Structure 1
Amino acid sequence: MLLKNLPAIAVVLTDRDILSISKESLEGADLIELRVDMFETCDDNLNTIENIFALAKKKFNLPILCTIRSSQEGGKKDIDNRLQIYERLIPYCEFFDIEIFSKEAPSLRQISQQHNIKLIASYHRFDLTPSVDELEVVFKDAKKLNADIVKIATMVNKKRDLETLLLFTLKHRNDKIIIIGMGEKGIPSRIINPVFYSLITYASLNINSAPGQISLQDIVNIFRILGVRSN
């Protein structure tokens, strides 16, 4: 799985973070998610983006997850040449993330397989949490892609949504899944679901990439208290 701890903690960073933070500030993180759609200084310039990834690999020596999120599922800006960027960043990445229903997903699956990069096929709903049956349809579509990991993140509006996400997590305990509830009411899912086989939880350092995200320091401390991890 390329990760020393499961559940793993991914810290979400931007280009400005890579340029400014110290290695010590990422203590407890298992991997870095670099959100290219949140980059501020690159203007989609391939050379500049590549330099950021090269610096991140050298500076922090952690596995890197490259995400170029579509604006339709929460990305901060539209990027037309996503496949070209992913291909350029192959030497620096252990993981790619792409939306299950994006037109680029099948091509990125082929690219990632050719270069031994794990593909996270993701699905985001920022308005609600669908039923377990609806989530099953999403999961099956992700498996048709032959994704290595299926990530589902939905908005939690009521307690029952947390129950739905936990039930789905338990149902797929033997699959490689990431299940996240977004929003303030979804915060418990970022702690509970990883205890029950959701592989990765996402933490913030300076900027939240999704509503309800917990800080890296807090999630590390919570996991230690729960005995989920010792380091």
Structure 2
Amino acid sequence: MTSIEVVEFIYNAAILMAKNYKKDEIMQKSIFLNRPNLVVSATDSSTLDAICKTNNNNTFDIVEIRLDELVQEKNLKEKISSISHPLLLTCRHPKEGGQNNISDPLKRISLIEPLLPFASAIDIEISEFDKMTNIVSEAKTKDIKVILSYHNFITTPETSDLNLIISEAKRHDADIIKIATTTNSLKELINLLSIKENSTIENLSFMGMGNHGMASRLIAAQSGSILNYTAIGKTKIKGQWRLEEFLSALNLN
């Protein structure tokens, strides 16, 4: 069996497993740590406005507000205050895919902090944790969940290296650990999926990007990935699913 045939087999198996996936398992209005959550990201004015019009939509659970991409958005606080879904605040560092070159930790904190009253969670890169401890501590005191994340847009490291990254996030008392890597080869796909098989961390979110990203995300959702990211409208990352297509693949619409 060739590598392509193996990937197709995994992909088709994930779709078949989805036939038994219960819709009410992911249709939640809070960030639960004992079940999958579907996340949609607001990355520009059009997606933010579209999300604001879907407050009664039960097909997703969490709205990620990408502050690095919405830095010029007018009336942002007013708009997000109208969203009934739990909000995840992310100001991504440019080294890990952030836009508008916002690398200064004080600037990033200044974008996140005023919106904490509306947040259910914040996402901070593991590599930037030491520079963002103030906002992490503040979030913790307000009972806001802290996601510590790792992104690799080039490859997927060996599973042993990923496990070291996960261990570091665990030492920092992450509520959820997110791993997103590039899965252009079968070996990279296996490296990524193996972290769930080998890890004792329950609150783990993992996903692939690139050639096998879509297959990895289906399998991840079936394997208990806590956060499963989709797009409303056009996808911006190769390997990401549009919300409607992901729901269809999971047999949820």
Would the TM-score normalized by the shorter structure come out above 0.5? yes
Question: Which SS does the other structure have where 1:211 is aligned?
Answer: coil
What is the aligned partner in structure 2 of residue 121 from structure 1? 148
In the alignment, the residues of structure 1 paired with residue 201 and residue 171 of structure 2 have an alpha-carbon distance, to the nearest angstrom, of 17
Q: Hey, which bits of structure 1, 4+ residues long, moved more than 4 A? A: 24-27
Q: CA deviation at 1:20?
A: 4.9
1:87 to 113, 116, 132: 113
In the alignment, the residues of structure 2 paired with residue 99 and residue 108 of structure 1 have an alpha-carbon distance, to the nearest angstrom, of 12
Q: CA deviation at 1:147?
A: 0.7
Alignment size in residue pairs: 218
What is the aligned partner in structure 2 of residue 52 from structure 1? 76
Look up the equivalent residue of 1:192 and give its one-letter code: I
Aligned counterparts, 1:1-231, within 5 A: 2-3=30-31, 6-16=35-45, 17-20=47-50, 22-23=53-54, 27-39=58-70, 41-42=72-73, 48=74, 51-58=75-82, 60-79=83-102, 80=104, 81-102=107-128, 103-172=130-199, 174-223=201-250, 225=251
Contact conserved, 1:14 with 1:35, CA < 8 A, in 2?
A: yes
Gaps of 5+ in 1: 43-47
- TM-score, scaled relative to structure 1: 0.85
Question: Which SS does the other structure have where 1:147 is aligned?
Answer: coil
Contact conserved, 2:31 with 2:120, CA < 8 A, in 1?
A: no
In the alignment, the residues of structure 2 paired with residue 40 and residue 19 of structure 1 have an alpha-carbon distance, to the nearest angstrom, of 15
In the alignment, the residues of structure 2 paired with residue 40 and residue 77 of structure 1 have an alpha-carbon distance, to the nearest angstrom, of 8
Contact conserved, 1:170 with 1:197, CA < 8 A, in 2?
A: no
- TM-score, scaled relative to structure 2: 0.78
Calculate percent identity across the aligned residue pairs.
Answer: 29
Gaps of 5+ in 2: 1-27
Question: Which SS does the other structure have where 1:89 is aligned?
Answer: helix
Contact conserved, 1:125 with 1:154, CA < 8 A, in 2?
A: yes
Contact conserved, 2:55 with 2:85, CA < 8 A, in 1?
A: no
Q: CA deviation at 1:197?
A: 1.6
| CA displacement, residues 142-179 of structure 1 (integer Å, 9 cap, x when unaligned) | 11211100001110121122222111112236520101
Distance 1:7 1:173, change over 3 A: farther
Contact conserved, 1:156 with 1:181, CA < 8 A, in 2?
A: yes
RMSD of Structure 2 on Structure 1 (CA): 2.3
In the alignment, the residues of structure 2 paired with residue 53 and residue 125 of structure 1 have an alpha-carbon distance, to the nearest angstrom, of 31
